[in-house]
Each structure stands twice: as C-alpha cells, then as structure tokens.
Structure 1
Amino acid sequence: MVIVTGGAGFIGSNIIHSLNEKNYTDILVVDNLKKGIKFSNIAHLNISDYIDKEVFRISILQNKYFFRNIEAVFHEGACTDTTEWNGKYMMDNNYQYSKDLLDWCLQRRIPFLYASSAAVYGHCHTASIEESEYESPLNIYGYSKLLFDQYVRKTIKTAESQICGCRYFNVYGENETYKNRMASIIFHLDQQIKTGKDPQLFIGSHNFKRDFIYVKDIVSIKLWLWENNVSGIFNCGSGTATSFQEIATTILEFHQKHEIQYIPLPENLKGFYQEFTKANLTKLRKSGYPRSLKNIKTGILEYMTWLNPTIKHSEKTRE
C-alpha cells in the first residue's frame, strides 16, 4: 500500500493519478474533506481507501502497526495558507503532525517523501540554495516548513530508511481549483477573464518574479526520487524566475484579451510577500534527476487548454 496524505488536494491527487498510470491502485488517501468540493480531485482515481487525517494520526500514534505492508508515504497534507497567522494551529498541523508521521515511518522503515516549500527562503534575491544562510521565512507557514526541514536534517543522519523533502516553488496546474485565493496566479487570471473581468495584477508586477513549476513536473520529480531511493532536501522549481507581467501576457494571448487592471498590494501582504523566488537546481541534478522541465509558456498553454476545453487550438494560436 502507498499512503498519500493530502491525497484529495492539489499535488496529492496528481501524485495518485501518476501512481495509477504506473498500475498502483492500493492507495490510502488521508485528508480532511470538510471542504467537500475536493472530492472531485479523486472521484475519477483508483484508490483502495480513505481516512480522515485526525483519525489516521490517532491510529498511528496508538498502534504503530495499525497499517501494514506500506511501500511509501507521500506526505502532502498541510495548511498552505500563507496568510494564516494562527501559530498554534499552523505548528500542530504542519510541524507536529509531520514529526509524528515521520517518526512512525522511521520505526517501520517506510520511505517518507514530504512537501516543504520555497517559503522558507523569504526575501532571497538570488537563486536559493538548500542551505541555512538562504533561509529566512516571512510568515508562520514558512517557519513551520523550515522547522520541520531542520528536524529532518538532524534525523536523516541516523535514518535507516528514505527521507526526502521537496521544496516546492510556485506550483500550478490541474486540480488546484478548490484552493480559492491560494490557487496560482495563472488560475486566477484565467478565471477573471472567463467571468468577464479584466485580469488584475499588483502595481509593479513586472518586478515581481517567481519560479513557476508545472504540477506534472513536481510529480515526476517526486516519483523519481522515491523510485531511486534518494534522501535529502531538494529544491523543486523550474530554475527560472518569471514576472507576473509575463504570466499575464501569455494568458491574455491565449484568450485574445488586451486589458489589465493594476491594483495596490494589500496592506496585510506588505513586508510578508515574496517578490522574488528562483530555485537553484544543482542539488537535484546532482542526485541524478535526468528529465527536462517545462518552460513557463509551454506549461501555461497546456494548463489553459485543460481549463478551457471548448477553445479550439486554432482560436488559441491565432494572432
């Protein structure tokens, strides 16, 4: 059996989709379906069972042999809301829960692959390297991810099974609809246009540059790391920083629209907003990961086609 926490979520459901393509169907989904719309991400997938995240946590804490014959745990479950400032909740949900699950996996020698985040880097203005001098999170979300990475760095030295962390940069792609305001800027711009609005960007968006990576590339990296028994903490980005302005231009071209509305950066984001991210991929490449990554324009157009299935190819590419 393979366990995927956050399995009904964005990246988790894409991992399950790829596992199904590899003929894995004995999959336990661990999630919180209080936001019931998430069911649609897994309704078409082949899984063996579902369990609520808190029931799962209690089960493994009370009996480390509650689940048997586990091939791997993909830990994707977390609160990813960077505007959430309830530190007690964030640290229990993202940090302590992850520790509990990792400790259980270590006792059973189960491969443990988890989601970290580029939020650990904060105001880093160069390509980020997986080293402490680059790490300075801006919010409690980023801190919860960094603290667990630090726990892993101590634990991995004596671990007898795989531990692998992936620091996700700005991931976009299929199955992120339910994330609402935390969905990618690519999704939001598309939705604004489809509802008859001018797409909105923050003033100065030509200066806001982020590393955007397609979810299919994230899944490819993660499954390769598992299949090759690679341990460590790795940046998972495209290695390229793209401005929000460039993102909007590509989406406008797809929809054959021209107008953009510029709005001020909200007060609650000032000082806590990452204006630049870029992954240094040296460590990932040294691990042996061989595949190329989609450039941003190719990825956006593929995603736009999925979001807009009724727009014909000739309409998308017409000048």
Structure 2
Amino acid sequence: MYIVTGGAGFIGSAMVWKLNQMGVTDILVVDELGRDEKWKNLVNLKYEDYLHKDQFFKMLLKGEDPFETDAVIHMGANSSTTEPDADHLMENNYRYTQMLCRFALNHGVRMINASSAATYGDGSLGFSDDHAGLERLKPLNMYGYSKQLFDLWALRSGALERLASLKFFNVFGPNEFHKGDMMSVICKARKQIRETGRMRLFKSYHPDYPDGGQMRDFVWVKDCVDVMWWLLEHPEANGVFNVGTGKARTWNDLARAVFAALSLEPVIEYMEMPEGLRGKYQYFTQAEMGKLRAAGYEAPFTSLEDAAREYVRDYLEREDPHLGN
C-alpha cells in the first residue's frame, strides 16, 4: 500500500496519477476534501481507498500500521504563503509531519516529504540544499517556516538520513485548479488572456530587474512526480533535495510561452505590486540541482516553453483539464 497524503491536492494527485502510470493502484488517499472542487482531481485516478486526514491522524496515534504500508508520500499541508494562523500551520504542517515521520520510521517504511523553496526566504543566502546550511535559512512567511522547522527537526533527530524531503520550487501543471489565488501564474494567465487579450505582471521595484524581469525556477509537475518515483525506486537516496529545473526564467518568458501556446502575439502590461507584498517579494529563485544529480537522478527537466505548450493545449484548453482525462 502506498499512502499519499494530500492525495487530492495538486502535487499529491499528480503523484497518484504517476503511480497509476507505473501500474500501481494499491493506494490510500489521505486528504480533507472540504467544500471546494478538489475532489475532481480524483475522478480520473485509480486508488484503493480514501481516508479523511483526521481519521488517519487517529490511526497514527495508535502507532499501528493496518495497511502494510510500502511508502508514505506526504504532500498534505496548508500551502498558502499568506495563511495568518501560525498555530494552525504549526500543528498542520509541522507536528503532523513529525508524527507521520515517526510512524514511517518505526515501521521501516519509505517516506518522501514535501518541503518547500519558501524555506530559502529572500534568497540572499542562496539556494543550496546542503544540510550544513539548513540552520541559516530565514523564511519570509509562516508557511515556509513550518516547512523549515520539520527539516531542522529531521536533521537534528537523524531522521533526515532515512527519508527524502523535497524543496519544490515554482511548480505548475494540471490539477491545481482548486487552489484559487495560489494557482500558478500560467493557469491564471491562460484565463486572463482568453478574457482580455493581454497578461498583467507586477512592476519591478529592484534596480537589477526590469518590469517582468523578476526570475523564478518554474518546474513542470510531471517532472516533480518523476523525481518522486525515482526516489521510491532508490530508498538509499535520502536527505533534503531541491526539485526545480536549475534554470531561472523571467515572468516575461513565462508570459511569452503562454501566448505562444495559444498561438497569439504577446501583449503584456505591468501593474503596481501591493504594498504588503513588496518587502516579502523574491526577485530570483533558482534550484541548485547538483545534489540530486550526484545521488543518481539523470532525467532531463522539461523546458518552460514545452511544458507551457502541453499544459495549455492538452489540459487548460480541454473540457476536462485534469490528469488522466
């Protein structure tokens, strides 16, 4: 049995899709469906059972493994970078992950955890996933801090030597449609372009970056789940790993890629950034990928242009835009 927490969410449901692609259907999806349309991510997928996260938590408290688990893929978390409830993030993202980690290690089960590139803060300390620099990082928001706390606990307790904790950079792709404001810019851009004929980006307030020239490491969700599958196949690869392309691209590049996918000439406008965001804005992110490569991962990462084309044409422009359609 493969347990996928957050299995109805964005990366979690993509991982269930990947498992299905590899012939695996013996999957327990753990999540909290609530009142949004996250459930639609599951419709095209094959899995054995679904369990609400609170029920799963009660199972963890008993310390038992009634599922004869092969692996825990922990993608479940509150991923909102603007979530104001710090106590909620401490319990939901940090304590819950600690408990799940203990469960996995106590039962000799492979664990893959979702950390985040938000742990790198403003990027002034770089983007190295070397364990020696973990304690120096200063996240800019509580979400990033909740992820940082688990990585630090895992490092100090020795758990990090027995699990893989993945710092995802700017992931985009199908099954993110329920995320509202947290959807990727590509997903929002296609809708905006179809409705208005143009795309709006934030102006820059940094002298080294022109408007729309702020840079991110945009990574295709299918590449992310390929990495996770490889880690399941290679349980000797443990520790913190960045998951990005290793190549930063500008927002202007992204906008042009979406227009190209729609066979339209680019029309880009620049708008003021909200005051509350300006002091917390990252102008540059780029994953250092040497550690994952050194561990043996050799597959290439999809270019922004190719991934945007597939996302827009094969998903966003279709009636059913979900994986497995």
TM-score with structure 2 length normalisation? 0.90
The equivalent of 2:277 in structure 1 is 269
Q: Where does residue 137 of structure 2 map in the other structure?
A: 135
8 A Cα contact 1:126 1:278, kept in partner = no
Q: Secondary structure at the match of 1:303?
A: helix
Counterpart Cα distance in 2 of 1:294 and 1:272: 29
2:111 corresponds to: 112
Shift of residue 257, structure 1, vs aligned partner: 4.1
Contact 2:79 2:143 (8 Å CA) reproduced: yes
Match of 2:322 in 1: none
Which residues in structure 2 correspond to 1:221-236 (within 5 Å)? 221-229=227-235, 230-236=237-243
Instruction: Return the alpha-carbon distance in structure 1 between the equivalents of residues 136 and 198 of structure 2.
Output: 37
Q: Give CA deviations for 1:218-249 in whole Å, capped at 9, x if unaligned.
A: 00011101111121110000001111111111
Which whole-Å CA distance do the structure 1 matches of 2:220 and 2:244 have between them?
A: 9
Deviation for aligned residue 1:125: 4.7
Per-residue deviation at 1:266?
1.1
Shift of 1:22: 1.4
What amino acid is the match of 1:282?
Answer: G
Q: Secondary structure at the match of 2:144?
A: helix
Question: Paired residue for 2:163?
Answer: 163
Looking at structure 2, the residues matched to 27 and 157 of structure 1 have their Cα atoms a distance apart, in angstroms, of 24
In structure 2, runs of 5+ residues without a counterpart are 205-210, 320-325
Look up the equivalent residue of 2:280 and give its one-letter code: F
Contact persistence 2:160–2:238 (CA under 8 A): no
Q: Specify the SS of the correspondent of 1:276.
A: coil
Which residue does 1:48 correspond to in 2?
48
Q: Is the 8 A contact 2:36 2:178 kept in 1?
A: no
TM-score (norm 1): 0.92
**Which has the larger displacement, 261-270 or 15-24?**
261-270
Instruction: Give the aligned residue type for 1:217.
Output: D
1:147-158 to structure 2, matched below 5 A, reads: 147-156=149-158
Match of 2:248 among 241, 264, 270: 241
Do the aligned residues in 2 keep the contact of 1:166 with 1:235 (CA within 8 Å)? yes
Alignment of 1:62-77 (within 5 A): 63-77=62-76
Cα distance in 2 between the residues matched to 1:167 and 1:12: 15
**Aligned partners of 1:14 and 1:219 also within 8 Å:** yes
The match for 2:192 is: 192
Give yes or no for contact 1:124–1:134 (8 Å, CA) kept in 2. Answer: no
CA distance in 1: counterparts of 2:112 and 2:158, whole angstroms:
12
- Paired amino acid for 1:222: M
CA distance in 1, matches of 2:297, 2:266: 39
Deviating more after overlay: 199-208 vs 237-246? 199-208
How many equivalent pairs are there?
Answer: 308
Aligned to 1:195, the other structure's residue is in SS state: helix
Distance across 2 between alignment mates of 1:40 and 1:236: 26
2:215 paired residue number? 209
Contiguous gaps of at least 5 residues in structure 1: 312-319
**Residues 1:3 and 2:3 aligned together:** yes
Corresponding letter in the other structure for 2:144: G
The equivalent of 1:38 in structure 2 is 38
| Deviations 1:236-269, CA, capped at 9 Å, x for gaps | 0000111111111121233314322321111221
1:121 aligned partner, one-letter code = Y
Aligned pair partner of 2:303 in 289, 295, 315:
295
CA distance in 2, matches of 1:180, 1:36: 10
CA distance in 2, matches of 1:78, 1:17: 19
- 2:123 is paired with a residue whose SS is coil
User: How far 1:104 sits from its partner (Å)?
Assistant: 1.1
Do the aligned residues in 1 keep the contact of 2:244 with 2:287 (CA within 8 Å)? yes
Amino acid at match of 1:35: R
2:288 alignment partner in structure 1: 280
Q: Retained in 1: the 8 A contact 2:202–2:212?
A: no
1:317 counterpart residue number: none
